[in-house]
Structure formats: C-alpha cells, structure tokens
Amino acid sequence: MLDWKNRAGSAPDRAAEPKSATRSYFGGLLFSRALGTLVALYLLVAGALGWYWSQEPSLFPVQQGAQIAAEKEGKQ
C-alpha cells in the first residue's frame, strides 16, 4: 500500500522551508494575477471596439449631396 504520509513529510519539516519558497509562491501568484488582469483588460477593450465597429452608420441622402456639390461647381 502507498505510504503517502511519510512521502509528504512531517509538518515541522514543511514549516522549516526557507522563506524563498514562500516568496516564489507569492511572486507566482502576483504574476498570474497580473497576467489575468491584462487578459481581462484586453478582452474588455477588444469587445468594446468590436461593438463600436459593428454599429451601422446612419443613412444620408447621396443624391442630394451630389446635387449640391454639382451646383457649387456649376455642373449638372
């Protein structure tokens, strides 16, 4: 049978770990949170830009605009 209790080590052994292990854990945690924040911010900006670009512009009278421009130039 597996002897998982002895393989994991005792609590005093784990408590005697150097502080660098704790620092590396929080350093990794900080990195993963920063990376997650950047990904979330990117998705938010990309979603907002996609929504903005997908809006259809309002209609405008092309013939009237062309007629006004032609009259300014003195053409038909």
How far is 50 from 53, CA to CA, in rounded Å?
5
Query: How many residues in the chain?
Result: 76
**What are the structural domain ranges in the chain?**
10-54
Indicate whether 59 pLDDT > 70.
yes
pLDDT in tens, 13-49: 555 555 565 566 667 888 889 999 999 999 999 999 9
- Torsion sign over Cα 35, 36, 40, 41: negative
**In which residue are the tokens 């003195």 written?**
74
- The span from the first CA to the last CA of the chain, in angstroms, equals 98
DSSP label at residue 18: -
